Structure 1
Amino acid sequence: MRLEKRLSIVSIWLLFQAISGFGQDTLAHRNLAYYLDAGLANSPLLKDNINSITLNRLDSLINIAINKPYVQAIGQYLYAPTGPNWGYDQSTTNGGAYTGLIQANRNLLYRRNLRIQNNLNSALRDSLVNTVRINQNDLEKAIVDLYLTAFQDYQQMVIFGDLYQILSSQNEVLKELLRKALFNQSDYLAFRVDWQQSEVNHEGAKVQFLQDILALNTLCNIPETGLVQLEKPALALQARFTLDDNPYFLRYRYDSVIVERNRRVIDIFYRPSLDFVVNAGTNAISSDLITRRFGYSLGLNFTMPIYNGNQRKLQYQKLDVAQLTIRNYRTQYLNRFNLQLRTVNEQLRVNQNLITITERQNTDVENLLTISQARLYRGDISAIDYLLIVQRYLNSKLSLNQLIIQRQRFINTFNYRNF
């Protein structure tokens, strides 16, 4: 009776040690926030997006600069010698040209053109800012997905390690019972095979977890290669947002605005242009007269397009096709958005029911394993029957781990769509 009581206590202690974790205290701790912060800070794509916004601001400044007065220096030295029966006609060359001018040009109708160009740049800037939000959300989802994969494999590694620890401790007890002829040789060999397989499973899970961590570090540009201890993610459902602030929906609105403002830019090339020109300096036909031909001139240059083969109409038609494409994609997104959120909500409901059932099953299997350990030591059950219970314990642990991570994936998908 004392032996049975002692074996029961040993069984409970072994199970408690397994549940408490398998050799994880020496590893560095990492959580989801660590990888999100590193991934967003190190992303070359997001940095490229920020640089694009900077370039857009510079484009606006360039547009302002282009529409300011343009001042240039003009110099010309042309000598056309002549002789008997050779040389250019003097009436066309005047024998030479000697020019040194400072000239300024200014478009008098620049304000409207500048406003149109700035409106286009403003729409492009809004689109670029929205693109930053989209790429950031995409990157966050990718990081969370990889983290969940790594955490699932990390938990699987821990579960296999816990099982190996349980079986290793039991192996010592069973060897002692076998030495005293209190345990069957064939049952011990069957137990030993499963014990060795548990070690193989643990090492295989460790390799898989290391691959996951390397993939996660690569995505986040983190220069680490070793194993770490991952903290359990705790994603929560975000409140339902409207589409008015959804960057994936706003993308189509910004694209539509850009198309319309490009239409106004096209109009610039078909409007009258009036330039004021003024210059001052010297302009002579003989080098002897350079110092006596200083002066200035001013005037207006006017141009107005009349006909170019209806190119503006064709360009408008191209923009109409672009608008139609945007509307088609926007309609598809609206239909998919509502369907995807309803689907994820249903998946979350079913998943929660499965978690509740599996948690109850897991508790029962743990109790059954504790009882079966003592019965194994007493010889009340064979090693084969005991190993079947161990397999149930393992499957229950793995299933619960998979369901918990699956729920986190569903939440991540919901938050991603509901951004």
Structure 2
Amino acid sequence: MALLTNALKYMRIKKNFFIKQKIVIVLLLFSFVAFAGIIYTFQTSSNLDAQHIQLVESSEKIEIEVFNARIMLDEFLDGDTSIKKGSILECYGKANNYIKGIGLITTNSDSLKLDQGNRFLYQLTKLDSSIVEIKKIVQLSLNKRQQGNDSSLLNSNRNFILIFNEYEKSLHSYISESNNLLKRKIFILLTAVFIILIISLILIVRLMNSLIRTNRELLRNTMKVEQSERKRIAMDLHDGLGAMLSSVGLYSKILEKEFKDNKQASSNLNQITQLSNQALQTVSEVINNLNPSILKRHNIVESLDRFCSRINKVGNLKLQFNADEFFGKMDKSREVILYRICSELINNTIKHANATKASIVLSRTTKVMLKYQDNGIGFNRDELLVSDINGMGLTNIIDRVESIGGQCLIDTSKGNGFAISIEIGIDKRQ
């Protein structure tokens, strides 16, 4: 029995480890996806902000260079010898370079696929043509060193201002649509992460339920193996040792009659008879503990009532049993587990608690409820569950309850007695 139980426990540990490993993998995958999404969002947002800042700054520099060139041209034509022709033309050259830089920035951007991106590039091209046109007129004026083309220059500058205003509008629209595109991407990403989170939670819940079912199944199998082994050992004791002890008692009685004239021999034989009867009674108690035969003749309420009556007769513990609110029947396998739990709890109270009173309350509504309490010395619950001090077997009781889908609630502390509440589900057909 020990080998089979250990094998089942090993299977339980192995299965638990495998399921927990799956849960860790799911959590790691979700964490990786979420972290990658955060990095992508941060990097994309930073790059887009930097790009927009660069576009705005370059656009402002274009306007500044054109206006600087105009001011320098007016001063040059007015006779300011400190201003050189090259400086004026250089301003237009810088403006053209800034336009080329803006073109490179937008060419490498995904936002060019947007409607506002195409419009922005169109306005940028017009702006570049406008500056080229102004540069030609300015160069002609510089060569003649006169203001003969003043009207053409004024018209070109006025046209530049109009084009630049349209360009700025298209730039703002382009930036706005790029931001909206980023927001949509972030929304899609967050939606995907949320969906992955939901899927991960569903998988974790399913794995946890699988873990719980596996534990219960393995516990149930352990209890079945234990129960079958208990029955086999009980039968072996009954058919083997019990039969031999009965034979010893029978033969000693026969010999006692034959040696009734020999007082010494008769007394010895009588003592053998009594010892064999005591041994047979002890074997019967062991058999009953291994496989409670009383449950074959009575239901759980009558069996516990008789058990409590026997405890009250032979011990110093005053045990009260109340089943007024219990009705119906239970599955025999659950009755056996419940009977063993009560037996183990009472045994713990007698051996370890130094209690004078204890009570068992058995009731049934939508579930079977068992409440056990004593006025003993109590103990530290957490320490006992970890180390199982004095072999009280609380973990064994909890395992028995969980094997049939039940729950335990233990309430105890040093000097304040012991109490346990057990809930066990009921088969709807019962």
Question: Could you state the TM-score of these two structures normalised by the residue count of structure 2?
Answer: 0.29
Q: Which has the higher contact order (CA 8 A, sep 6+)?
A: 1
Larger radius of gyration: 2
